[in-house]
């Protein structure tokens, strides 16, 4: 029997061919993988834009020139309201601290009983003096009539005439006393010397007070002023009539106007006082500390929109945009503010292009898409 060997040979050839093809494909795949990093490294990197922005440049603008100062708010003038009557009992107190009063308004009254009795006694003395004077005048007139006839001696005529003058003097004295009593009665009513606000009260009902004792203290005309402490070197820039903005603590700003600059400077602090009338004090109170700014005029400055300036760690920055659309963080020094613009003192070339808004969303090196306004 003869064995056939052709089929095994055929299968061996097929297997060998398949193995060779697999090896070639594996080598080709490895070669392709080895080429991929090189291709990736040689390909240019293209970053995605972080934000679409508009650009701006610093421009010259007119900014108000201001001088900052600190000071205290005080009453323009204070009036001390006291008693002129001596040794009288305080019967009524009609006003309290914080109340607005008008000139001539009754603030308190003293018990007038003692003075009324004295006034009545003085009135009786006046009536008596008037009767005495009438009798003395009649006698003096008769003496004058008889002077020509010689019925009375010169001495007697003199006595009648002297008695008339004495009676006249006594009447005038009693009338003066009566006027003084009326004046003392009027002093039992304590009146406001001016319009204003009661700022302090020491009057107590029932107290017997000496003349001159203070009963009330009031802010005249309800006017307040800000007394700013300004360095001597800056006093020359301040003139009467200049506008001032005063900001009390936790209150809206108050408008004021310079009334006068003190003629002297404190030799210890080298500061001078500037008196500023507060037109409408609002919630400001006498005794408050306040900050303020004197408006000295206007000046030209290079400015940017405030939205273009980023405040970080106590420093100010702007984001410049280069030709490659990448931003670079640039530190700048800022100055005055006016409306929506801020003065750039240094750190930025005049022709530099910076991001106008949205700077808080960008970082150094970010790529942006620039659009025109």
| Domain carrying residue 337 | 51-62+300-370
Diameter of the chain measured on Cα atoms: 218
Give the pairing of strands 51-53 and 368-370: parallel
Tell me the two tokens of residue 297.
């005029």
Residue 173 lies in a domain: yes
Calpha distance 366→3 (Å, rounded): 81
3-state secondary structure of 103: coil
Q: What CA–CA distances, in Å, run from 323 to 243, 252, 304?
A: 47, 46, 21
Q: Is the pLDDT of residue 31 over 70?
A: no
pLDDT score of 53: 86
Indicate if 97 and 193 belong to the same structural domain: yes
Q: Report the range out of 29-33, 201-205, 299-303 with the highest average pLDDT.
A: 201-205
pLDDT tens-digit map of 275-325: 999 988 888 999 999 999 998 888 888 889 999 899 888 899 999 988 888
pLDDT score of 28: 53
Rounded (5°) CA angle 44-47-53: 140
Mean pLDDT, the chain, whole residue set: 84
Residue 3 lies in a domain: no
Residue 356 lies in a domain: yes
Calpha distance 123→20 (Å, rounded): 152
Calpha distance 16→18 (Å, rounded): 5
| pTM of this structure | 0.61
Which CATH number characterizes residue 314's domain?
A: 2.40.420.20
Which CATH number characterizes residue 134's domain?
A: 1.10.287
pLDDT score of 263: 93
Torsion of CA 350, 354, 358, 361, to 10 degrees: -130
pLDDT score of 357: 87
Q: Using an 8 Å Cβ cutoff, are 69 and 294 in contact?
A: yes
Which CATH number characterizes residue 263's domain?
A: 2.40.30.170
Indicate if 91 and 217 belong to the same structural domain: yes
Higher-confidence residue: 328 or 146? 328
Provide, rounded to the nearest whole percent, the portion of the chain with pLDDT above 90.
46
Calpha distance 237→244 (Å, rounded): 13
Residue 44 lies in a domain: no
Q: DSSP states of 50-88 as a string?
A: SEEE-EE--EEEEEEEEEEEEEEEEES-EEEEE--SSSE
Indicate if 359 and 314 belong to the same structural domain: yes
Give the number of domains in the chain: 4
Higher-confidence residue: 233 or 44? 233
Domain boundary among 299, 326, 359: 299
- Residue range 72-100: mean pLDDT, rounded: 93
pLDDT tens-digit map of 247-271: 999 999 999 999 999 999 999 999 9
Calpha distance 119→83 (Å, rounded): 19
Q: Residues, the chain, total? A: 373
pLDDT score of 2: 39
Packing angle between helix 154-186 and helix 113-147, nearest 10 degrees? 160
Domain boundary among 299, 333, 349: 299
Q: Is the pLDDT of residue 211 over 60?
A: yes
């Amino acid at each position: 029997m003869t064995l056939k060997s052709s089929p095994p040979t055929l299968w061996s050839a097929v297997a060998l061919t398949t193995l060779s093809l697999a090896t070639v494909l594996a080598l080709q795949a490895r070669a392709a993988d080895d080429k991929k990093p090189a291709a990736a490294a040689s390909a240019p990197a293209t970053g995605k834009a972080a934000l679409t922005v508009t650009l701006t440049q610093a421009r010259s603008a007119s900014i108000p020139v201001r001088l900052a100062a600190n000071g205290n708010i005080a009453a323009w003038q204070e009036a001390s309201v006291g008693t002129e009557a001596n040794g009288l009992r305080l019967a009524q107190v009609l006003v309290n601290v914080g109340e607005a009063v008008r000139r001539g308004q009754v603030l308190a009254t003293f018990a007038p009983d003692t003075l009324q009795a004295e006034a009545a006694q003085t009135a009786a003395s006046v009536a008596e003096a008037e009767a005495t004077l009438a009798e003395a005048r009649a006698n003096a007139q008769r003496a004058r009539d008889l002077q020509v006839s010689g019925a009375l001696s010169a001495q007697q005529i003199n006595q009648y005439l002297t008695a008339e003058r004495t009676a006249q003097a006594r009447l005038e004295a009693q009338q003066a006393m009566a006027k003084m009593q009326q004046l003392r009665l009027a002093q039992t009513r304590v009146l406001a010397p001016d319009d204003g606000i009661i700022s302090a009260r020491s009057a107590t009902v029932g107290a017997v007070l000496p003349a001159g004792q203070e009963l009330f203290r009031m802010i005249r005309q309800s006017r307040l002023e800000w007394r700013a402490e300004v360095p001597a070197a800056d006093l020359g820039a301040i003139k009467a009539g200049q506008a001032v903005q005063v900001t009390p603590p936790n209150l809206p700003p108050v408008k004021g106007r310079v009334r006068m600059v003190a003629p002297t400077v404190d030799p210890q602090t080298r500061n001078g006082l500037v008196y500023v009338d507060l037109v409408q004090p609002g919630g400001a109170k006498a005794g408050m500390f306040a900050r303020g700014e004197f408006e000295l005029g206007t000046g030209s400055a290079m400015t940017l929109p405030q939205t273009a300036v980023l405040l970080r760690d106590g420093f100010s920055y702007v984001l410049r945009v280069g030709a490659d659309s990448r931003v670079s963080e640039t530190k700048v020094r800022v100055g005055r503010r006016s409306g929506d613009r801020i003065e750039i003192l240094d750190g930025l070339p005049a022709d530099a292009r910076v991001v106008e808004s949205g700077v808080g969303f960008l970082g150094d090196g970010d790529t942006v898409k620039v659009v025109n306004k």
